Chain A
Amino acid sequence: MGSLRVSADRESCVTSSLCVYRLPQVFDQDAEGRVLVVDEQPPDGLLRELQRARRGCPTRSIRLEGPGVEPDEAGEATP
């Protein structure tokens, strides 16, 4: 168990599946295709991949907290 915290906004998720393909050990989808976080405290070693997944999400639905997490890029946040 790491010190990272992952959460996702199921309301804004648009079922792109990008996070699920990138990190199936952390993300999954429910029957409707909306994102599920299956590991909310993934190992620290996944930080880089998690940041990529956050960046790749078309609706900015993924949140990351913890040591070493870079701030999300400014100006791109979903309203």
Chain B
Amino acid sequence: MSASSPIGYPLPWAPAPDIPESWAALGERPLQEITLPSGDPALLVTRYKDVRRLFADERLSRNTFGRASRVSASNDLFGDPNIDNDPPRYLTERSVVMRAFSARRIEALREVVKVIVEELLDAMEAGPQPAELMEAFAYPLPILVICHMLGVPPQDRPKFRRLIDGFLSVSALPEDEVEECRKQYWEYLAELIDAKRAEPGDDLISDLIEISREDPSKLTAYQLQHWVKTLLIAGYVTTASQLGTGMAVLLHRPEVAAELKADLSLVPSAVEELLRYQMMGTSLGTLRYAVEDIELLDGSTVIPKGSTVLLSQESNMDPAEFDDPLKLDIHRTDNHHLTFGAGIHFCAGAALARMELQEATEGLLRRFPGLRLAVPGEELKRPVGGFLAGYTEIPVSW
């Protein structure tokens, strides 16, 4: 193996909605030794072609619990001994859940999303300026959508948001507080599922309960709860963070924003480019464990068996795959970025997230053609010690 001395990961963020040069420099080495927030070591795969191929490589197991390095010293969210995340078990579970995410179902939801977007924008317009985009729009939208899908009662929304935020702490909260949020969240889910069991509705949780009741070998009670937990988290924070950060990145470049405002038919390609470009998250959630030695495409670099491996989001900046990768180009076509992963673990909510991001971006820009950051981009603050690296507040005017 030819890796260099370890660097801390995630890499430091640029203060402004810009890409640090260090991300681009990563591509020079196909494998980089890193130190996770827990202090544990791991190997980061940096090149697009390697990353894309390894997403589909069964020699990299997703079942990391108890054998791989840890992301966080204080939070074991990132490993679950009761869930075997490898095929074939994973595939059965996943196919049960995925029926809710087909193109047809997502398109049917689009109308609901449009209405939610309009209502949130109405409220924003009626309120004072500058508005705070995260609280006014980016958080509520995906929460309302995922609650609609899963059938979470509206009055529970603030509660589950508080618990998820605690649950997702990598180092922001002390261990006992994370543990307490985790416990309460788990209890809340159990109550929610019990309530749906007693009184099923027209929602995904009720559907999953029905499947689990008919054939528990497809979905055990524990797995049911695990998926509800995962869908709620994944449907909320990632989309919220992506939406806010994408807008910050865009509005930080007024000439690009103007181009998009002038031609809203570019929204889908702009959303893809912002997904590729801005890296709202990190690759932290996708630790993998090498069950064998794995050779990379350069023919000389080998991931040794027993390593903890991260497939980097930074591979979206690989010049071998993307022309002028550090440029935000909303016209980019064939943008096969790896933000949603690839292979059998391809993000289950990708189609939903895309649709929400498209509707949200279009709605915002259509409604507020003068939309702009109310503070210089350089002054936007990133959260410290959380799972995602969006912005804590994004003040906007229009």
Contact = CB atoms under 8 A, between A and B. Distances in A.
Interface of B: 49, 52-53, 55-58, 94-95, 98-106, 297, 334, 336, 340-344, 346, 348, 350-351
B102 A15 contact: yes
Contacts of B100: 33
A52 interface: yes
B55, B57, B98, B340, most chain A CB atoms within 10 A: B98
A26 to B, nearest CB: 13
From DSSP, what is the main secondary structure of chain B's interface residues? Answer: helix
Given A16-B346, A17-B102, A75 B351 contact: no
A15, A20, A31, A32, most chain B CB atoms within 10 A: A15
B152 to A, nearest CB: 22
B362 to A, nearest CB: 16
A5 B217 CA distance: 37
Given A75-B53, A75-B297, A78-B56, A58 B342 contact: yes
Contacts of B343: 14, 58-59, 78
Nearest to A51: B334
From DSSP, what is the main secondary structure of chain A's interface residues? Answer: loop
A79 interface: yes
A76 B57 CA distance: 10
A15 B53 contact: no
5 contacts: A17-B103, A32-B102, A33-B105, A55-B336, A78-B56
Given A16-B351, A21-B103, A33-B99, 15 more contacts: A14-B343, A14-B346, A16-B346, A17-B102, A20-B103, A24-B103, A29-B103, A31-B99, A32-B98, A55-B334, A58-B340, A58-B342, A58-B343, A59-B346, A75-B49
Given A14-B98, A76-B52, A76-B53, A59 B103 contact: no
Contacts of B106: 17
A59 B341 CA distance: 10
Contact of A56 (B53, B103, B336, B341): B336
Nearest to B57: A79
Nearest to A30: B102
A7 B341 CA distance: 23
A9 B100 CA distance: 20
B340, B341, B351, most chain A CB atoms within 10 A: B351
Contacts of A21: 103, 351
A25 interface: no
A31 B98 CA distance: 10
A3 interface: no
A12, A16, A32, A79, most chain B CB atoms within 10 A: A16
